[in-house]
Chains A and B, each alone.
Chain A
Amino acid sequence: MKTCLVVDDSKVIRKVARHILETLDFTVEEAEDGRAALDHCTGSGMPDVVLLDWNMPVMSGMEFLRALRRVEGGDAPKVVFCTTENDIAHIRAAIEAGADEYVMKPFDRETLHSKLQIVGAA
């Protein structure tokens, strides 16, 4: 089973994402900000996929992504942004920083499933 780390400061979003991901056969871990997510990755091991919010307290999704890609093994996880930032400038910036996919909120199961298929994780 593949693992997905859901990084979002909203408990509701984490719950929705967890529910969908579990129906797609993922083992789901959660983190409430970029810092906690980074600690998780360097401490408990790299997940296969990170589903990443943009705006979060303590450390943003973008800061997390840049930091992740610099640590050892940090190039392995597929990073899928999942955010309300839905303009082309944000999307381009995310791709440049090393994101693999981008989901604009709101999303549903089909959208998430298709994006996970695209990054080769589902």
Chain B
Amino acid sequence: MEISASSRQILAGLLESRTGQQIGIGRRWRVDAALAPIARDGGFTDVDELVKRIASGQAPALAEKVLEALLNNETYFYRDKLPFDLLFAEPLKRIEAARMKERRLSIWSVGCSTGQELYSIAMSLAEQATRWRGWTIDLVGTDISRTATERARAGRYSQFEVQRGLPVLQMVRWFEEEGAGQWRIAQPIRDMVRFENRGIADRPPMPGMFDIILCRNVLLYFADSMKRLAYTRLADAIRPEGALMLGAGETVIGQTDRFVSDPDSRGLYRPAPGAEARRVA
């Protein structure tokens, strides 16, 4: 059933004020599909009634649920593959050299959704055990969706999710079959990562500065002002020799002057020279 224009407006306002995400034309159909089950479960006659209840401000838990349903959590292991291959070539070597003295590496997946992105990195590092022996590695994922971060932490994936993008050898090596089509990423990998429920506009998680930041398919639906704020947050949290990975269709060009493309690795970006000075000033 079609929901009213005023309901759409209320929902769009809620989503944008809480997350920065705008509901694009192409995503409108999702609204009805995403909210119909919540309306039904809550005993509302239709989605408009559900929206009215939320707009009253008297049902924060319900509003939270609706918000979660409006977020697009789509993700999969090694999404787009190539940028991960590129990251693990030159950029990681450069970062390893820069951090050799402290032997400390920190990686942040912003908008990590259900964790596949960060677990992909964790598995790849675990497969280079000798290289990273003696290193302290922080792998942190953050997302504004509470349910997504909870799922990420649990590390449980359906049969459908577990094979999307994940090489079978890695699946066999790092996952346990739990039965009923459910797979769980193994404890040693779960022990490498940390997930926190926080938005990109909030302060970055500990340790605060990162060598690699992945912010993929998150900024797409942000308004320009929110994009600028997000890039400022990321630029303030990345080390000078660090690498930023965006989604396949995304670019910093025309969006921020705090990052520049990495000429050798398509899809990867580096902090603009002088960014350090700006931060101190």
The answer to whether residues A104 and B172 also contact, given A88-B177, A117-B81 and a CB cut-off of 8 A, is no
Q: Complex: how many Å from CA A88 to CA B175? A: 10
The answer to whether residues A95 and B168 also contact, given A88-B177, A110-B76, A114-B76 and a CB cut-off of 8 A, is yes
Q: Complex: how many Å from CA A101 to CA B172? A: 11
The answer to whether residues A103 and B163 also contact, given A114-B81, A118-B81 and a CB cut-off of 8 A, is yes
B152 CB to nearest chain A CB (Å)? 20
Question: Using Cβ atoms and an 8 Å threshold, which residues of chain B touch A106?
Answer: 160
Contact B177 A104 (CB under 8 A): no
Our pick among B76, B81, B166, B172 for the contact of A91 (Cβ within 8 Å) is: B172
Q: Complex: how many Å from CA A88 to CA B168? A: 10
Which single residue of chain B is at the shortest CB-CB distance from A101? B168
B28 at the interface (CB under 8 A from A): no
Contact B164 A111 (CB under 8 A): yes
Question: Using Cβ atoms and an 8 Å threshold, which residues of chain B touch A117?
Answer: 81
Contact A86 B181 (CB under 8 A): yes
The answer to whether residues A104 and B81 also contact, given A95-B169, A114-B76 and a CB cut-off of 8 A, is no
Interface set of B (CB-CB < 8 Å, partner A): 76, 78, 81, 159-160, 163-169, 171-172, 177, 181
Our pick among B76, B78, B163, B169 for the contact of A104 (Cβ within 8 Å) is: B163
Q: Complex: how many Å from CA A26 to CA B171? A: 26
The answer to whether residues A111 and B168 also contact, given A87-B177, A88-B177, A117-B81 and a CB cut-off of 8 A, is no
Which single residue of chain B is at the shortest CB-CB distance from A94? B168
Q: Complex: how many Å from CA A11 to CA B166? A: 28
B87 CB to nearest chain A CB (Å)? 16
Contact A101 B167 (CB under 8 A): yes
Q: Complex: how many Å from CA A92 to CA B163? A: 15
Q: Complex: how many Å from CA A16 to CA B171? A: 25
Listed from nearest, the 8 A-B pairs whose CB atoms lie closest are A114-B165, A102-B168, A88-B177, A118-B167, A117-B81, A111-B164, A104-B159, A101-B168
A80 CB to nearest chain B CB (Å)? 9
Which single residue of chain A is at the shortest CB-CB distance from B166? A114
Q: List 19 A-B contacts (CB under 8 A).
A: A87-B177, A91-B168, A92-B172, A95-B172, A101-B167, A102-B163, A102-B168, A103-B163, A107-B163, A108-B160, A110-B164, A111-B160, A111-B163, A111-B164, A114-B76, A114-B81, A114-B165, A114-B166, A118-B81
